[in-house]
Amino acid sequence: MIRSALMNVMTTAAVKAGRGLKRDLGEIENLQVSVKGPGDFVSAADKRAEQVLFDELNKARPGYGFLMEESGVVEGADKTHRWIIDPLDGTTNFLHGLPVFAISIALEREGQLIAGLVYNPATDDMFVAEKGQGAWHNNRRLRVAERRDFADALVACGIPPLARAHLHPRFKQELGAVIAKCGNIRRMGAASLDMAMVAAGQLDCYWERGLSAWDVAAGAILVKEAGGYVSDADGQDKILETGSICVGNEAMHRALLTIIKNA
Ligand code: IPD
Ligand code: CA
Ligand code: CA
């Protein structure tokens, strides 16, 4: 476990916001059967969770800046620190009552990611990492998988939704190339958890395009601190700018990058 003051601040905020999301997930089961469906309710739940995170983190670390999915940028007096937050990653799963979603919080210091947290309140899975302190799942230290043969790899991906259909042709090409060489594929539906699962060695590697900084910031430090490799989907070190991602152990990361490059 990481017992730093910073991690205490992050986990306290996540657990508090998570309590609300877990309660809301219960409510969604009732709304599922209504004609209107749970859309508006989910968007309110998302915003409520973000507000709790903002209030808690701002109280504990006044002056830090914020980049949040719902409210955007909030400049802080302290220009060296910035929180990057997705209050509800895996919205589609949440909307359907699937308990595969997470709160994702990362902290940057002078442009470097120094801490990350991915928390699924439905299952109480808490993944945390701090620079130089390793990556942890509850009380267990994480290591990426040792597997090296891509033919054995369990690979995660993201599928662009209908609203981003312009990404489909490229995705189909990449998917075709990957399934021709890997063991099998998973599409979990929450980028932050995909990365946490790579850090935990449950998935061998993961790639996706069309993401945003808040989808990948916390997961990136989890994977790095678990001994894994992180780049964008073109092999560059610009994940927060390009919103594409590729992670895995050294061998899997290299193999996956090569396959999608040649797709
Ligand atoms: C989404 C999830 C999903 C990924 C999407 C993301 P959201 O985040 O991480 O797995 O495929 O592209 O936008 O919208 O649920 O916060
Ligand atoms: Ca997200
Ligand atoms: Ca979100």
pLDDT, residue 152, reads 97
pLDDT, residue 31, reads 75
Whether the predicted pLDDT of 35 surpasses 70: no
Q: Please tell me the distance between residue 215's alpha carbon and the centre of ligand 3 in angstroms.
A: 8
The rounded mean pLDDT for the chain is: 96
Q: Are 179 and 69 in contact (CB under 8 A)?
A: no
The answer, yes or no, to whether any atom of ligand 1 lies below 6 A from the CB of 86, is: yes
> Which residues in the chain belong to E strands, given as ranges?
64-68, 72-74, 78-89, 102-109, 112-120, 125-130, 134-137, 140-141, 154-157, 184-186, 205-208, 229-231, 245-248
Whether the predicted pLDDT of 33 surpasses 70: no
Q: What percent of the chain has pLDDT over 90?
A: 90
pLDDT in tens, 56-83: 999 999 999 999 999 999 999 999 999 9
Q: Please tell me the distance between residue 77's alpha carbon and the centre of ligand 1 in angstroms.
A: 30
pLDDT, residue 36, reads 67
Whether the predicted pLDDT of 29 surpasses 80: no
The answer, yes or no, to whether any atom of ligand 1 lies below 6 A from the CB of 239, is: no
pLDDT, residue 19, reads 98
The answer, yes or no, to whether any atom of ligand 1 lies below 6 A from the CB of 103, is: no
> How confident is the model over 159-171, as a mean pLDDT?
95
Neighbours of 185 (CB within 10 A): 13
Single pTM value for the model: 0.96
Structural domains of the chain, with CATH: 5-141 (3.30.540.10), 150-262 (3.40.190.80)
